[in-house]
Amino acid sequence: MDLNQLEAFLTAQTKKQGGITSDQAAVIAKFWKNHRVKIRESLVNQSCWDNVLKNMNWRVDLKSQSRHVDQINTPVAIVEMELGKYGQESEFLCLEFDEAKVSQMLKKLTEIEESMTALTQTT
């Protein structure tokens, strides 16, 4: 609720029979202005039942050890994800992709983007 919506709502409540007083409306408005972000975050956290992606880092490295000699010094993408619920201890997931897997993942992400675009386009 933005500040214009808040003002309209509180005005309607003060005009309603048995509603709130203008002093009460002022207190509610001040409270909302000061705590709007915290209230929103709390509601979002309460509505998330599963883990969420809290953070993600990635980098490209060269493989320095392998069971097979031909795989040494090949580029790999390392993706580190922090998963969990806010206010609880996180779990960390580390993924390693070779060049073929990165290409495959990019192709799938492109397909997902195209599907989402097709579903959200207004004609």
The pLDDT mean for the chain works out to: 88
Residues 78-107 have pLDDT tens digits of 999 999 887 788 999 999 999 899 999 999
Residues 6+ positions from 113 with CB-CB distance below 8 Å? none
pLDDT at 40: 87
Scan for tokens 């580029």, then name that residue. 75
Which pTM was predicted? 0.54
Count CA atoms closer than 13 A to 58's CA, side-chain side.
9
Residue 75 host element (H or E): strand 75-84
